């Protein structure tokens, strides 16, 4: 069992999915050479190369659209938006294309597209970097949304959502939580319940 920070759990899930499937690739601002603003892709550029860990311009709508198009053709992109506030700039691609094409095509076209985006409060983040938009994303039909609270969940849910055939959003916390993570693969489904804590009077259940 190893202790991992939140970002390390996400990095491990990235690494495993890139190794498992050659159709998986990652793209976003500063995720390649710099290793990601929050280190969640650190070292992957050197390991997998510029064609699978792609640095993009500051143009969220454009590179999200590239990811959506690649997913429609059978690839499995993991697109990182640096901050959830900037996901607004890509909402047309996410809401009207990625989340809808499976239904609009009568099930003929799948879009296994994943958007990774951190959000919430943290040190040195101002008004344009600290929103929580889960409720907005949850209102989009065709989009699966996961919001992992712990490193263990961040790892398991990123693995789970990448292998699904639909469109999904992995909305992360900025907080630097640390937790013991079992070295053996921790796999979860997208629809499951965890008992977060038990007490004599109250039990905490999360899903």
**Catalytic residue numbers, as ranges:** 60, 129
What is the β-pairing status of strands 194-198 and 203-206?
antiparallel
| H or E element in which residue 46 lies | helix 44-48
β-sheet with 24-28: strand ranges across:
53-55, 24-28, 76-80, 114-119, 167-173, 143-146
Residue 44 and residue 5 in contact, taking contact as beta carbons nearer than 8 Å? no
Cβ atoms 99, 142 nearer than 8 A: yes
Please state, in angstroms and rounded to a whole number, the distance separating the CA atoms of residues 59 and 28. Answer: 9
Which DSSP string do the residues of 29-44 spell out, in sequence order? Answer: TT-STT--TTSTTTTH
Contact criterion met (CB below 8 Å) for 60 and 112:
no
The torsion defined by the Cα of 114, 136, 30 and 183, in degrees rounded to 10, comes to: -50
């Amino acid at each position: 069992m190893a202790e991992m920070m939140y970002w390390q759990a996400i990095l491990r899930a990235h690494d495993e999915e890139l190794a498992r499937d050659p159709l998986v690739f990652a793209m976003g601002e500063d995720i390649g050479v710099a290793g990601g603003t929050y280190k969640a892709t650190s070292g992957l550029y050197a390991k997998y190369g510029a064609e699978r860990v792609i640095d993009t311009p500051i143009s969220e709508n454009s590179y999200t659209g590239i990811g959506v198009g690649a997913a429609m053709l059978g690839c499995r992109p993991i697109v990182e938006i640096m901050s959830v506030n900037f996901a607004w700039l890509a909402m047309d691609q996410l809401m009207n294309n990625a989340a809808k094409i499976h239904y609009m095509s009568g099930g003929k076209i799948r879009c296994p597209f994943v958007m990774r985006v951190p959000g919430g409060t943290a040190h040195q983040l101002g008004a344009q970097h600290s929103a929580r938009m889960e409720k907005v994303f949850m209102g989009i039909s065709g989009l699966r949304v996961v919001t992992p609270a712990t490193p263990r969940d961040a790892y398991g849910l990123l693995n789970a959502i990448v292998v699904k055939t639909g469109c999904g959003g992995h909305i992360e916390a900025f907080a630097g939580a640390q937790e013991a993570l079992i070295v053996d693969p921790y796999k979860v489904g997208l629809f499951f319940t965890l008992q977060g804590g038990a007490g004599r009077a109250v039990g905490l259940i999360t899903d």
